[in-house]
Structure 1
């Protein structure tokens, strides 16, 4: 745990939160800056800065707990859909540097849902660039 980390403080009970669920290795609580009604966060109890340094076991437990909670958003809150979102790095909108998964219920009723897509789905990208990026990632992964 990091004493300077607000999420570590929440897990330790040293900072206020609206808890949702707790397991041996995860803690889920409501987001205080929600993008939709019911927006919540699932964090590992053990501090990891982001997706690059979280141990696989902690990542797995956070994802599985996020899925378990997301399934209940439909019945508990009448959600029409759910987004799971992780932001890794400041340029990817990460603002608290303790790994966390956003569970964001989505609604047709825009009074409950204030989010919109940050990109234009359905717009085809540059196929040459896509192919080049695929090749460089395969190389980085050692996939030839």
Structure 2
């Protein structure tokens, strides 16, 4: 059996956290590293590492809770925007191998930044790339 993640330990009540919401499949709690006040993490209770390891039903449950939490954060903090971030694997910026979504209230010039190199390939290249992606 693999070592429980910090999220598994929070969900199990082994470590303290500031819980925001819980249902049979999901658990939402304040991120200890607040980007802005109201930064919440929404995790599946089942300790699947990434989006590639969950069922379609689990993904739907996760994002139903994200939707509820985003509305609650908007009502509580009146941010100018909300960023949702779901990262997978270390190269995809994931730091805890337990699927979760960040719900981050955002404000103009709040210092939070998301930067990646952007290319603008021609439409023919985009169409060629699209043919490689088979959605089942």
CA distance in 1, matches of 2:40, 2:127: 33
Q: Which residue of 2 aligns with 1:30?
A: 30
Shift of the 25–32 alpha-carbon distance from structure 1 to 2, 3 Å rule, reads: same
Aligned pairs (5 A) from 1:1-144: 3-108=3-108, 110=109, 113-119=110-116, 125-128=119-122, 131-132=124-125, 134-141=127-134
Q: Distance in 2 between matches of 1:100 and 1:131?
A: 35
CA distance in structure 2 between the partners assigned to 1:142 and 1:119 by the alignment: 25
Pairwise CA distance, 1:141: 0.8
| Unpaired segments ≥5 residues, structure 1 | none
Aligned-residue CA RMSD (Å): 2.3
TM-score (ref. length: structure 1): 0.82
- SS, match of residue 9 in structure 2: helix
Q: Give 1:138 deviation, angstroms.
A: 2.3
**How far, CA to CA, are the matches of 2:126 and 2:7 in structure 1?**
35
Cα distance in 2 for partners of 1:142, 1:93 equals 24
How far apart are 1:64 and its partner, in Å? Answer: 1.0
Q: 1:25 to 1:2 in 2, by over 3 A?
A: farther
Q: What is the DSSP-based 3-state SS (H/G/I as helix, E as strand, rest coil) of the residue aligned with 2:52?
A: coil
CA distance in 2, matches of 1:82, 1:136: 30
Preserved CA contact (<8 Å) 1:43 1:101: yes
Shift of 1:66: 0.5
TM-score (norm 2): 0.87
Q: Which runs of 5+ in 2 are unaligned?
A: none
